[in-house]
Structure 1
Amino acid sequence: MNRLTRDRWLGVSTIPFESAHEYLWCLRRRASRIRRSRVAHSRTDEASSRSHSLLIFSMYARISRQASIRLSVEFSPSMRALSIHDEVRATPDMGGIMLVPVIDISALYEDDPKAWRRVEEKLYEAHSTVGFSILTGHGVPARMMDDLFEASARFYALPLEQKLAYRFGANLRGYLPLGASTLIRSTLGSARMPNHSESFIVLNELDETLSEQWFRSAVGGHQIWPRDPKEFEIVVRRYRAAMTRVGEVIVQCFACMLGLSRDGLDGHFATPNPILRLLHYPPLPDREANQFGSAPHTDYGCLTFVAQDSVGGLQVRAADGSWFDVPPIEHALVLNTGQVMEAWSSGALKATPHRVINHPEKSRYSIGFFYDCGLNTRVVPVTSMNDALCDCMPQPKTYGEHLETMLRANYAFTG
């Protein structure tokens, strides 16, 4: 490709050597346009898009070297992860090398359309390739996170018989002891062993429009709360409220990614189904090959936000089947795309397999917040899509039916 053809393809007229950063910016913009065209026109030729993506990356690297822009590359064979600074992003076409980008989303709370658009483009780039991102500037106070981590650790430190007083029964609310969940039904097949983790799940109370239909379902019933620690319910409710606000603004971004207006998905989230899950992964010094804190899976719903402690253990599967760590960043939120969002986008946004490995010596604590659509929302591509559902789970049905099927298969309900 000569320079004139290259510059016309990029949509720019001339790129002086001194403007290498602007050149890189143009490359990123072009990559975003190609990905967007794949969403809006799902019949776009895959080979052509793949070729364009690889061309973008090779041109990016070449211009970076010419401009003497320092790209710091760190490769850890144990992590199977590549970290490239200056915001270079690998794509799934590049073998197993993948990266979870850190994205400051503070502009989503400001009245600056250009800055808002830049955040949206970064999120699209992340979730159309890796399926994961790490969010900073999300607005959830650090003290609020710390308080919930502390309350969670205090709860799990209680004697088992005391925790079992809040065990879940016919509904998925309350305490789940070790071994209570086994991923029998998953997009990745059946797990061989139960998850080596315990958790506490908090759901919304169903309003009168949903209660009759869903009360006897896995998400029905009434929430139970432990008495110890005494501040448990208060800090959980505060965190859920703060995370709901984060979920609302991120949904607006994802609506734009699907070619809709910012409020294009509001109807699906008029009565959302947020699920909060406090998780404890005990140490596992002699872990067997098929034993996990959380077996490999993709999430059932729309968007998952995870606050991690400093222990680590969350891993994402790369395109070649290898696994790489998602580094813990204090007070950041790990965001990943769920099966419903993948279905709405006809597969353009990725629900990437992930797992949790228990530390051999330390307990790991995390806070999962699943911001999901209304139970009666249809799981089909939104109106801007041309094709039917992609050949991935879930199949066309409501989110509630899909969730009920998965939960009943994977959890040991009683009653």
Structure 2
Amino acid sequence: MAQTQYTHVELLTLNGPEFRRVSTAPPRPPTDDEIPVIDLHPIHGDQAARAELAARVRAAATNTGFFYIKNHGIPEQLITEALSQAEAFFSQSDSDKKQVSSSKFESAMGYHGVGSTQINRTESQDRKETFSLRYNPRMDPTIDDAAAWPERDDALLWEGTAHLPNFRETTIAFWQARLALARKIVRIFALSLALPEDYFDGVVTHPGADGLYIHYPGTPDTEHDSQVDLDVGIGSHTDIQCFTLLWQDMSGGLQVLSATDEWIDARPIPGTLVVNIGDFLQRLSNNQFKSTVHRVYNRQSTSRYSMPFFLGFNPESVCRVVPSCIDKDHPALYEPISCGKWHRDRLALAHTTPVAV
């Protein structure tokens, strides 16, 4: 029997490079425990039902840090309509897409072209293009005095996409549905950390909440062999914020680094979203929850689409390791930091990697 070979993935952190051991074996399917499917219907149940749900979420969060959710409450019709809008946007000419180039916006929302990012400096430039929508209190149905918040440059974003029928309405509706779901899930995460259910409510009133459309162009057949180890859709990385909600089409390509240092396929499952832990939630849990390395390869000749939603906490909120994750044998591993500073510092670090101009 051949001995397993390993290499390493390099990740940039605020404390310098970190290296993760990775098997060179081809990706394998996950076990049911590694990326479980969790029925979210009990989130609307009584206290006992929610506690049982929280226990399942905790088991997933402390293992691989990835799980699927079904019965999540976002209508399939809305997801289908959002996908249609993503396809319509990316099928435009480059000049039309660049009407909403991210360079025109202070928040870096809008359009990023293929090869404009390189999330891992030791791998290839990311073979993807994105449209990003950032949090705006004027889109948040829970904000009663939204008009009192400062105007932002969103108007330019919608002017540049006004020729796409229903693009604005559908994109905002899908963003709102995922924000509402994320606020429900954050209460389950509180329970899973042995905290009061409302522990995080005060830090998600105007959170970091980024909704993306992502298009991974198909890989021509002639490139399959020559670039099999080089051309990533998005390079090996961990997510920055608290957690991610991901819708992916049926193409496949999402790969997750298991607790046994093997790449596993987070295969698409109809009717589900993927949830994964981000670095900030790992930090707050004193490393009990796992923010796991993952990447995307699109090895097919046709396009792959995904629609992730990243939830962070209110930018000005200073957060520390939660009390339930600290005792005399397990002191806090991290100093308090504001969510906004954490996000800015991590993004600034990412900008030190080479990118295409």
* Same fold? TM cut 0.5: yes
Match of 1:181 among 109, 113, 117: 117
1:284-363 → structure 2 map (5 Å cutoff):
284-285=219-220, 286=223, 287-363=227-303
Query: For 1:195 and 1:365, how far apart are their aligned partners in 2?
Result: 14
Does 1:160 find its partner at 2:103?
no
- What is the count of residue pairs matched by the alignment? 308
Query: For 1:146 and 1:333, how far apart are their aligned partners in 2?
Result: 13
Q: CA deviation at 1:144?
A: 0.3
Q: Secondary structure in 1 aligned to 2:211?
A: strand
Aligned to 2:76: 142
Structure with the higher helix share, 1 or 2: 1
Does 1:195 find its partner at 2:130?
no
Query: For 2:349 and 2:117, how far apart are their aligned partners in 1?
Result: 9
Q: Secondary structure in 2 aligned to 1:81?
A: coil
Q: What is the letter of the counterpart of residue 230 of structure 1? A: P
Q: Deviations over 1:282-301 (max 9, x none)?
A: 11232352321111111000
Q: Secondary structure in 1 aligned to 2:31?
A: strand
Aligned to 1:83: 31
Q: CA deviation at 1:114?
A: 2.4
Match of 2:211 among 258, 262, 276: 276
Q: Secondary structure in 1 aligned to 2:67?
A: strand
Aligned to 2:169: 234
Q: Deviations over 1:172-213 (max 9, x none)?
A: 1100111221125xxxxx3432211000000123679986xx
TM-score normalised by structure 1 residue count: 0.69
Q: Secondary structure in 1 aligned to 2:88?
A: helix
Query: For 1:221 and 1:347, how far apart are their aligned partners in 2?
Result: 37
Match of 1:114 among 30, 48, 55: 48
Distance 1:389 1:191, change over 3 A: farther
Match of 2:108 among 169, 172, 175: 172
Percent identity of equivalent pairs: 25
8 Å Cα contact 2:316/2:340 also seen in 1 = yes
Query: For 1:345 and 1:164, how far apart are their aligned partners in 2?
Result: 40
Aligned to 2:202: 267
Gaps of 5+ in 2: 1-24, 138-145
Structure with the higher strand share, 1 or 2: 2
Higher relative contact order (CA 8 A, sep 6+): 2
Q: Secondary structure in 1 aligned to 2:89?
A: helix
8 Å Cα contact 2:216/2:233 also seen in 1 = yes
TM-score normalised by structure 2 residue count: 0.80
1:12-51 → structure 2 map (5 Å cutoff):
none
Q: Deviations over 1:65-116 (max 9, x none)?
A: xxxxxxxxxxxx74323435xxxx3xxxxxxxxx210111011123x22222
Q: What is the letter of the counterpart of residue 66 of structure 2? A: F
Query: For 2:83 and 2:71, how far apart are their aligned partners in 1?
Result: 19
Q: CA deviation at 1:354?
A: 0.6
Query: For 2:130 and 2:36, how far apart are their aligned partners in 1?
Result: 28
Query: For 1:113 and 1:156, how far apart are their aligned partners in 2?
Result: 44
Gaps of 5+ in 1: 1-76, 90-98, 185-189
Structure exhibiting the larger radius of gyration computed from Cα positions:
1
Does 1:247 find its partner at 2:182?
yes
Q: What is the letter of the counterpart of residue 128 of structure 2? A: S
